[in-house]
Amino acid sequence: MCTAVSFRRGVSLFGRTLDNDKSFNEEFVATPRSFPLWRGGGEHFAILGMATVKEGLPLYYDGMNERGLCMAGLNFDGNAGYSKPKSGALNIAQYEFLPYILGTCSDVSEAERLIKTVNLTDEPFSPSLPPAPLHWMLSDGKRDIVAECIGGHMRVYENPAGVLTNNPPFESQLLNLANYMSLSPGEGMNTFSEGLDLKPYCCGLGAFGLPGDYSSMSRFVRAAFVRGNYLPAGGEGARTMFGILSSVIVPRGCCRANVGWQTTLYACAMHPDRGEYGYVTGAGQTPVTFSFGSCNGGLFRHSICS
């Protein structure tokens, strides 16, 4: 369970929630240009993001590079399917994919061209870390795209909604929005019957029917509605993103999976214009914010539990 959102109205932002039943020792990680991020990799763009560090290597969940390209991986269990390595192909293991794209691409257009040439492989990071079933959202302040690898075939979609959650595949999520096109941020209109003089009895009736559960399709609709109508106050910056993401935060005890309680472990906001990455781990917290100044030395790590 996760939700990713872009926002462009007076400010360009990208953010996501990471929801799970347990922590994977997530850390904020700033990677300098010289740090090796993938096999055979040389110098690359500096990256700020959230990761689990294994054997000294950051396995990124999301991040932003110094050129302002943002990317997040979200669970896509049951649909994601990767390939075996192929001779002569650009073979990139699933765990290398996000840092490879952020390390080598300046914007969404470059990333889109590169993604279409990648053979995304199912090579595990280690025997205990098989490839994670993911799909990805990318944003650069001008365009948003979604990348999905299904049955070993990479597919790239334009993302006019500026939102990504989990299953089903993105095309189905986008089509589902048509079921809610009558919603509005206004008071609501009487289209029930010309013979009944119905009047709104409170504010918010225009959005009656907006789904409030925590399923991936409902979070997609809710995030798209809030993102499309959100009016930021002047100078809010990253707080705008946290305001939008607050609509899809999963409180502990409200969503039970087979293995435990799903909850939001963190929410982050990336501000490409300022080169800042901020995160919160609970409702009402003051965001912890880092910038690319963190990349001046070696690999910089900061536990989000500290």
Please give the Cα distance from 257 to 242 (Å, whole number).
Answer: 25
Domain boundaries, the chain: 2-80+99-114+134-303
How much of the chain is helix, strand and coil, in % rounded to 5? 20, 35, 45
> For position 176, what pLDDT does the model report?
97
> For position 303, what pLDDT does the model report?
87
pLDDT in tens, the chain (306 residues): 899 999 998 889 999 999 988 888 999 999 999 898 887 677 899 999 999 999 999 999 999 999 999 999 999 999 999 999 999 999 999 999 999 999 999 999 999 999 999 999 999 999 999 999 999 999 999 999 999 999 999 999 999 999 999 999 999 999 999 999 999 988 888 888 888 888 878 888 888 899 999 999 999 999 999 999 998 877 677 889 999 999 999 888 788 877 788 889 999 999 999 999 999 996 557 889 999 987 777 889 898 875
| Active-site option among 2, 105, 149, 295 | 2
Is 238 in contact with 276 (CB distance < 8 Å)? yes
Distances (CA, A) of 140 to 79, 111, 234: 26, 10, 22
Catalytic (active site) residue 268: no
DSSP tag of 206: G
> For position 6, what pLDDT does the model report?
97
> For position 283, what pLDDT does the model report?
56
Q: What is the distance, to the nearest Å, from the Cα of residue 254 to the centroid of all Cα atoms in its chain?
A: 22
> For position 258, what pLDDT does the model report?
75
Q: Provide φ and ψ at 32, rounded to 5°.
A: -75, 170
CATH architecture of 2-80+99-114+134-303: 4-Layer Sandwich (3.60)
> For position 38, what pLDDT does the model report?
80
Q: What is the pTM of this model?
A: 0.93
